[in-house]
Amino acid sequence: MRGETLFVLSLLVACGPPPADPDCDGMCQPAGPKFPGVGECKQGLCTPTYGECATQSNISTCAEACEAQGSSCVANGCAGSTYRLYSVLEWCEDPDRIGLAFEHECDDAIDWQVNQAVQCCCTQE
């Protein structure tokens, strides 16, 4: 019985969530479960993540959006995309909405189409 209990406990430990990386000390801003690997701690560094929502009237490139937030844009650095577009600001600020992902260079103009809000992929300190 003791051996079976240890085996079950070993399985529970092996299947549990990975331990937090002490090198990041909770400083990273993960983008959430819908974006695995985005904004998480990897080898002691925070990976790029989607920054704050910005509107079409405030910026025209992701380089501008990230700079306004005190960071730098990372082209295609958030699960392969540079930014996510949303029809309206309220949708951008809703964590249950994922928007439309775009690959783009940071200095290229955002392809707004009919959308009004964007989240750009930015570095984390």
Instruction: With respect to residue 89, please indicate whether it lies within any of the assigned structural domains.
Output: yes
- Does 80 reside within a domain? yes
Instruction: Dig out the tokens for 82 from the structure.
Output: 């540079």
Whether the per-residue pLDDT at 13 is higher than 80: the answer is no
Domain residues for 103? 27-122
User: Nearest-CA neighbor of 71 among 116, 106, 38, 114?
Assistant: 106
Residues 6+ apart with CB under 8 A from 41: 20, 21, 23, 24, 27, 28, 47
Residue 7's φ and ψ, nearest 5 degrees, are: -65, -45
> How many domains in the chain?
1
Distance, in Å, from the CA atom of 103 to the CA atom of 90, rounded to the nearest integer, reads 23
In a domain, 5, yes or no: no
pLDDT for 20: 53
Tell me the per-residue pLDDT of 42-74, one tens digit each, with 9 for 90 and over: 989 999 999 999 999 989 999 999 999 999 999
Query: How far is it, in rounded angstroms, from Cα 26 to Cα 12?
Result: 24
pLDDT of residue 24: 84
Long-range contacts of 22-30 (CB under 8 A, 24+ apart): 27/124, 27/125, 28/124, 29/124
Single-letter residue type at 39:
G
The answer to whether position 14 is within a domain reads: no
Is the residue at 3 inside a domain?
Answer: no
Looking at residues 87-98, what average pLDDT do you find?
94
User: Mind listing the pLDDT tens digit for each residue in 36-47?
Assistant: 999 999 989 999
Residue type for position 46: C
The confidence score (pLDDT) of residue 105 equals: 98
Q: What pLDDT, on the 0 to 100 scale, is given for residue 7?
A: 41
Residue 1: predicted pLDDT:
52
